[in-house]
Structure 1
Amino acid sequence: MRAFFYLPESAMNEATEYYTNLIIKAFEGYEVIISQEPFIEEDVDVIVTIRVADQNELKYQNKHKKYFFVNWFQGIGPEEYELLHNYTLRSKLGKAYLSYFEKKGLKKTDLCLFVSKEMERFYKKKYDLKFENKSLIIPCYNKALDEASFLVEKKYENFSFVYAGALYGWQCIEESVQIFKKVYEFDQSATLTLLTGQKREAEELIKKYDLKNVTVGFVKLEKLQDELMKYKYGFLLRKDDPINNVATPTKMNSYLAAGIIPIYTDVVKDFEEHINLGDYSLKYRIEEDTLLEIANKIITFNTKSINVEEIKRIYKENFDKYYSDHKYIKLIQDKLMILSNKV
């Protein structure tokens, strides 16, 4: 049997490469064809896409053949479009347009790869669809646990914070730096590093909030984990809305893989169901906890000593159960076994 992966260059980055390679590994026994072009000239049985819009670009040599479609649904695109365009009338029209193709794609796809169970619930409710046995849940991640990161000298002794990624408002960057400012006012040994390509925006934030002990840095993706392992805490705050409810931000995976203690919120439903950090959980709710309350709780937590072996064991359990290549490859293969009897 043959599987055709349509992976256009515009869709590929470090996160999508890891995810698609995971899917490809599951196609053991298949002849896998990887293409950046949407032309399906080969006699293939399975077509794999990683964006809903990519299904519309495909051009078939044999239009009458029954293909089995697999698609990775990375996020709820129409709602993200509306948010990024500030909920204007034009954005609402764009949302309606995108929703039409999204629903069409969901109905067309024979195996839907969702990043969370909440995403499946969202689509069921929004489009009144039933997925039954045509869906799998695989969270977004791209890093394995680096056990050496727990042994970095003075890692858990320094009062160090990091924020890695873009500085968009919906990622609660302003709330993050304000919390840090309140922590710094209590303890001037606290440091914050903003690892981002948006240097100008970062410097504007520093000036806006008159931040001290905050530095701006940037490292290439292939060196990011080496940099992250230096820090004790990492900011991953989100607000309670459907976009964040269904997401599984790779930042959580990156932080945990580097031995960082994440400062996060309870709105990511899949993390609520599957991430368990035990005594090392710094989880809050922006809608209920004030920024000062969050800062005070972090200050209190920082008085505790870190048992390196214990935190490493807890993190490893999360990787074994949640960020596990073996687990998801097996789940996909089980679905493909059923598929092979249908195509």
Structure 2
Amino acid sequence: MKNISVYLPKKDYLNEATEYYIEMLIGGIDCDFIGYFYSLKDIKHHDNVLVIDAKSLVFIKLRYPLKRVITWYQGVVPEEALMVFESRFRYYYWSFFEFISLKLSSWNFFVSTAMVTHYQKKYRIHITNKTIIPCFNKQMNKDIIYETADKYKYLTFVYAGSLHKWQCVEQTLEIFKRLNDIHSDSQFFLYTFDVEEAKKMVKNIGVKNVTISRSSLEEIDYKISKCHYGFLVRDDNVVNNVATPTKLSTYLSVGTKPIMTNVIHDFESCLNLSNAVIYENMTSIDNIVKAIMTNYNNGMSVDDLVVDYETAFSDYYNRKHYQNIISKISL
């Protein structure tokens, strides 16, 4: 049997969500997995190598032109670089690697149909050697949903993650500020490793009832599960259009209702959530708050919510389903 390894340029490229996704891919591929490697010289005799960025593929191909390399595209790096750094150089730098990778990769894993459409339009190519699997790193946890069902009585909100520009954390805080002005008993729990930067944001916006802290991976799911609503606010741009943030699977897995913009294209086309607050891009903050309060005041059935979210995990977030698809790939 052929073997496969994972090449990462740095050890810190591997986090919980990335490792979950990689293990799902590797678990489906009909090859012997021989581990993670961080040096090009160590993969010389490996039959197949999985990489998680376009540049890694190019470097492997320069050293081992005949090596079979499989690429997972987590996001549109050139557009992210342009957004964060406002650098045309970084945009073209990463676009070069992206284009070469799409041409030379033995197989491509994309996180959304929208991502495939983006690449085909941007580079005027037709991609056939592909599998589309959304980003997720959780499975349904009904026990914790019922255990924390009291949360649905309260206006508690959560955001857990980075403060990158595309995460729209400032806009999220503005939404909560308006809601808290009306309902002073509402609470917002913001979990991030960038605690000081988050405190600056909260101070600049002048919002109250926000608790900012770090959380370990072992504790974060339970902390999220104790909150009624989870924010997934996004602007309408290509970075967000093609993404499938893991945050949604985390929220749904523990019964935290998502509040999200309808700009993530595959979420719009692949999911039909009843227990969520989903609003149009450019909706005013006042109308977003009204939508949240309408959802809250209408009440809910925990059993109905569980059925709603179970549907998402039986189809869109079904690990076994994707591994079955992967098993049919011929490497």
TM over 0.5: yes
For 2:55, the equivalent position in structure 1 comes to 53
Q: Is structure 2 residue 203 aligned with structure 1 residue 204?
A: no
SS for the counterpart of 1:58 is helix
Which TM-score applies when normalising by structure 2?
A: 0.93
> In structure 2, do the counterparts of structure 1 residues 153 and 325 end up closer, same or farther at CA, with 3 Å as the change threshold?
closer
Deviation at 1:110, TM superposition (A): 1.7
- For 1:15-54, what aligned pairs fall within 5 Å after superposition? 15-30=17-32, 32-40=34-42, 43-54=45-56
> In structure 2, do the counterparts of structure 1 residues 130 and 307 end up closer, same or farther at CA, with 3 Å as the change threshold?
same
Deviation at 1:53, TM superposition (A): 1.2
Deviation at 1:153, TM superposition (A): 4.7
For 1:311, the equivalent position in structure 2 comes to 305
5+ residue gaps, structure 2:
none
Deviation at 1:195, TM superposition (A): 1.1
SS for the counterpart of 1:166 is coil
**CA offsets, 1:193-251, max 9 Å, x none?**
11112222222222222222221122112211011110000110001111100111111
For 2:295, the equivalent position in structure 1 comes to 301
**CA offsets, 1:160-195, max 9 Å, x none?**
111111223321112111111221222222111111
* In 2: Cα distance, 1:77 partner to 1:212 partner: 35
* In 2: Cα distance, 1:3 partner to 1:236 partner: 35
Contact 1:158-1:232 within 8 A present in 2 as well: yes
Contact 2:149-2:302 within 8 A present in 1 as well: no
For 1:239, the equivalent position in structure 2 comes to 235
Q: Is structure 2 residue 217 aligned with structure 1 residue 221?
A: yes
For 1:181, the equivalent position in structure 2 comes to 177
Which TM-score applies when normalising by structure 1?
A: 0.90
* In 2: Cα distance, 1:323 partner to 1:216 partner: 30
Deviation at 1:100, TM superposition (A): 1.2
* In 2: Cα distance, 1:282 partner to 1:230 partner: 18
Which amino acid in structure 2 is aligned with residue 6 of structure 1? Y
Deviation at 1:10, TM superposition (A): 3.3
Deviation at 1:286, TM superposition (A): 3.5
> In structure 2, do the counterparts of structure 1 residues 3 and 162 end up closer, same or farther at CA, with 3 Å as the change threshold?
same
Which amino acid in structure 1 is aligned with residue 77 of structure 2? G
Which amino acid in structure 1 is aligned with residue 174 of structure 2? Q
Q: Is structure 2 residue 274 aligned with structure 1 residue 284?
A: no
For 2:125, the equivalent position in structure 1 comes to 129
Deviation at 1:27, TM superposition (A): 2.8
SS for the counterpart of 2:153 is coil
For 2:68, the equivalent position in structure 1 comes to 68
SS for the counterpart of 2:230 is strand
> In structure 2, do the counterparts of structure 1 residues 16 and 28 end up closer, same or farther at CA, with 3 Å as the change threshold?
same
Of the structure 1 ranges 195-204 and 257-266, higher mean CA displacement relative to structure 2 is found in 195-204
SS for the counterpart of 2:162 is coil
Deviation at 1:155, TM superposition (A): 1.4
Match of 2:316 among 322, 335, 340: 322
**Number of residues of Structure 1 aligned to a counterpart in Structure 2:** 328
For 1:84, the equivalent position in structure 2 comes to 84
Match of 1:331 among 320, 325, 330: 325
> In structure 2, do the counterparts of structure 1 residues 245 and 59 end up closer, same or farther at CA, with 3 Å as the change threshold?
closer
- For 1:118-197, what aligned pairs fall within 5 Å after superposition? 118-132=114-128, 134-151=129-146, 152-197=148-193
Which amino acid in structure 1 is aligned with residue 310 of structure 2? K
Deviation at 1:31, TM superposition (A): 5.2
Which amino acid in structure 1 is aligned with residue 25 of structure 2? I
Contact 2:166-2:239 within 8 A present in 1 as well: no
Contact 1:277-1:314 within 8 A present in 2 as well: yes
SS for the counterpart of 1:131 is coil
Which amino acid in structure 1 is aligned with residue 48 of structure 2? V
Deviation at 1:281, TM superposition (A): 2.5
* In 1: Cα distance, 2:33 partner to 2:260 partner: 42
* In 1: Cα distance, 2:224 partner to 2:166 partner: 22
Contact 2:234-2:240 within 8 A present in 1 as well: yes
- Aligned-residue identity in percent: 32
Which amino acid in structure 2 is aligned with residue 82 of structure 1? L
5+ residue gaps, structure 1:
none
> In structure 2, do the counterparts of structure 1 residues 157 and 41 end up closer, same or farther at CA, with 3 Å as the change threshold?
closer
Of the structure 1 ranges 140-149 and 109-118, higher mean CA displacement relative to structure 2 is found in 140-149
> In structure 2, do the counterparts of structure 1 residues 325 and 233 end up closer, same or farther at CA, with 3 Å as the change threshold?
same
Contact 1:24-1:32 within 8 A present in 2 as well: no
